[in-house]
Every structure is written in C-alpha cells, then in structure tokens.
Amino acid sequence: MKAGLSRRKLLQSGAAIAAASAIPSFAAPRAESGKPSPFRLGMCSYTFRNFTRAQMIPMLKQLGITELNAKNTKNHLPSDAEQEAAAVADYKANGIHLHAAGAIYFTKGDEADVRAQFEYAKRAGIPVIVGGDPTPQTLPRIEQFAKQYDIRVAIHNHGPEDKLWPSPLDVLKDIRNLDAHIGCCIDVGHTVRAGTDVVEAIHKVGPRLYNVHMKDLASFTDKESQVAVGAGKMPVREIFQALDAIGYKGFVDLEYEIKADDPMPGVIGSVAYQRGVLTGLGYHVSA
C-alpha cells in the first residue's frame, strides 16, 4: 500500500493534474469566484473495500474528503446496531460525515427486510439510501417506509447487465409516479455503458437525482476499462455543468473499483482531477 503521500504533495499533485489534464480539455478557465461548488465531492467506502475502517479513515483525511457514502463491507458500517454505533462515533470523532449508505440490497423485499434497512440508515443518521436492486413490485413498500422514516431512496442503475434498470432513464420510468422520497443514483460509468448520454440523463432525472457515483472508463463498451477519473473518456466537466444546471445540491461520490489492494494512487488522481475541473469552472474548492 503506497498511501504515504503528504498533504502538501497531494495538493501539489492536484495542481499538476488540473494544469496538465483538466484545463487543456476545455476553454480557458475562469478565475475562482470564491463561490463554493453547489455540490460536494464524496467517497464511496466500497473504494476501500479491502481495508478496515481504521485503515480507511486516515486515507480519507489524506485526501481531504470528509463526506462518505458508507457500505456494510469490512467494518465500514456494520449492520449490527452496537457495532454500527461504534462506527458512527468513530467517523464523528474524525470529522467524517455520513451522507448516504449503499448500495443496500433489498434481498427479500418483505416488510421486515425493508424496515431493517431503514432502521440501519436511521441509526446512523443517514438521509439517503442507495438502493441496489429493489424490484418494481417492491417499490410501493419501499415508498411507504421512505415516507415514514423521511429517508430518500436513490435507486442505482447497473448498466447493461442489469435486467431491470440498466440506465437511470429506466429507473425514472418506474418511479415517476411515486412519492418524491424515491429517486435515482446515477452511476456515470454504468450509464454510458448502457448507451445513455449521461449529461442528457442528468437533465431528465433533474430533481429526482439524489446521489451520483463517479468513475471513468477508457471504453464506454468495456466494464473492465475503468481508469482514474480524468484518464478516460468520461465528460466530467459537462457532467458537473449539468449538475449545476439542474440545481443539484447533493454529493458526487467517487467509486474507484479497480486496484482494490492499492487504490490510493488512482484515488488521489481522481479527486485532484475533479477538484481541478471545478476550479476551472470558477468554483472555490477546499482541499
């Protein structure tokens, strides 16, 4: 694991990537306006699925990331109530805010199963559940609990392998008439692999967009072509502009799914590139 980069070096790498990669890809950037970005950069804990919570927290600090989309993997956010409380306290003590949980899979879909997932999010004070696989038949029950617990559910699209919802536009068709607590999590990588224009999808989902998973691909037809954000074909600048245009106030969570045993080099580059793009769009980005 090569995670021993200083904060100074991290910031220097961010400046270098912004200068070398982000800026030439579009017109001359505006100077920072001092206005903060309308949305925040976060991290999917799945990125660090081969590392314990105690190992992950220093990495998040090194990255300057304080927003976490936590998953019940390793001991990141256990389902056991006592262990979950210990994890929540650990994050709070280290200045890390839990803004979402997932992906959460409603494997049974019965009342007890659905309630358990909402109790899990409620105990952690999490306002958004990223739903991995609810079926259309389960949605009315999930809608009922989402309203009762006042927790939003962002259904995650999973690309062409997903027989129900390969694209966020497929999700949108099934949730259009449901309560506003039910919305979408757009995974940009799976979206482009489904043949959907990701920028167009953001505009169409609009106010029902409750979470974004960011990744990059060298090929929009190859799931295994994931690379660090900025090193592939993903239109990151246009994605950020679309999020701004729809008034998105949520989180863009990096989900770096490759090199699970040594993710930090790619994660550092991905975070720095995103910050560089936001700076190029005129926003003040804290690091």
What are the two backbone dihedrals, phi and then psi, of residue 241, each rounded to the nearest 5 degrees? -65, -40
Q: Percent of the chain at pLDDT above 70?
A: 87
> Quick one: pLDDT at residue 33?
53
Q: How far is 157 from 193, CA to CA, in rounded Å?
A: 11
* Model pLDDT, residue 22: 38
Comparing 42-46, 131-135, 265-269, 272-276, the range with the smallest average pLDDT is 131-135
Distance CA 263, CA 62 (A): 13
Q: Which residues contact 205 (CB under 8 A, 6 or more apart)?
A: 168, 169, 171, 172, 183, 184, 186, 246
* Res. 12: pLDDT tops 60: no
What pLDDT was estimated at residue 23?
Answer: 33
Q: SS3 of 217, please? A: strand
Helix 111-123 × helix 81-93 angle, to 10°: 30
Mean pLDDT across the chain: 89
For 38-60, b/e burial (b = at least 16 CB within 10 A) is bbbbbbbbbbbeebebeebbebb
Give the pLDDT confidence of 81-127 residue by residue, as tens digits.
999 999 999 999 999 999 999 999 987 878 999 999 999 999 999 99
Which residues neighbour 221 within 8 Å (Cβ) at sequence distance 6 or greater? 193
- pLDDT score recorded for residue 15: 39
pLDDT of amino acid 271: 98
Is residue 249's pLDDT more than 50?
A: yes
CA distance linking residue 104 with residue 99, whole number of Å? 14
Q: Hey, what domains does the chain have and what are their CATH numbers?
A: 39-280 (3.20.20.150)
List, for residues 23-47, the tens digit of each pLDDT value: 333 333 344 456 889 999 999 999 9
Predicted pLDDT at 68: 98
Residue 260 has pLDDT above 90, yes or no: yes
Contacts of 211 (CB under 8 A, 6+ apart): 69, 100, 102, 128, 130, 154, 156, 184, 185, 186, 250, 251, 253
Residue 108: the pLDDT is 83
Please enumerate in sequence order all residues whose Cβ is within 8 A of that of 225, keeping only pairs 6 or more positions apart, or say none: 217, 218, 219, 232
Note the pLDDT of residue 134.
86
**What stretch of H or E contains 215?**
none
